[in-house]
Homo-oligomer: A and B are copies of this chain.
């Protein structure tokens, strides 16, 4: 196949993830920076909640890019190589928890990066956002195709 069909998160899908993630972060009482990128690592939507750390505007985006790139959660990346890889990628690499790939039917279609809380809080917010997208897709199965 010279040209192939891929599944890609749309901005509409990204909004579903973002809204659910923010609603959950508000419920937790943890202000967050939340970034969602497509499968190419390009930013789709971003929001910095009231009270979130300023510098997390950068790390949230980097976490999302890293998760889309590596197709794995950033929290599980080996930290011993982090410095080297980060420098080798022009500091585009984030080996800290809070970046989670958005996987639909076994394919990574995008990723979410969450930053400003603890590792656990960041991951939880990311996962709730992704679950919301999956819930919408399963109730409207044709939206995915």
Closest-CB distance, A58 to chain B (whole angstroms): 4
Q: What does DSSP make chain A's interface, helix, strand, loop or mixed? A: mixed
State A94–B63 Cα separation when bound (angstroms): 18
| Besides the known contacts A53-B69, A83-B83, 13 further A-B residue pairs in the complex with CB atoms under 8 A apart | A1-B143, A1-B145, A3-B9, A5-B5, A5-B8, A11-B47, A40-B41, A41-B55, A44-B47, A45-B45, A45-B48, A55-B65, A79-B83
Give A residues with C-beta under 8 Å from B.
Answer: 1-13, 15-16, 38-50, 53-59, 62-63, 65-66, 68-71, 79, 81-96, 104, 109, 115, 133, 136-137, 140, 143-145
Judging by beta carbons under 8 Å apart, are B12 and A55 in contact? no
Contact A87-B91, Cβ < 8 Å, known A4-B7, A55-B69: yes
Judging by beta carbons under 8 Å apart, are B43 and A40 in contact? no
Contact A84-B90, Cβ < 8 Å, known A65-B55, A69-B55: no
Q: Which B residues are in CB contact (< 8 Å) with A47? A: 11, 15, 44-46
Contact A82-B84, Cβ < 8 Å, known A45-B47, A55-B89: yes
Contacting residue for A46 out of B10, B46, B94, B95, CB 8 A = B46
Contact A58-B90, Cβ < 8 Å, known A47-B11, A133-B2: yes
Judging by beta carbons under 8 Å apart, are A2 and B88 in contact? no
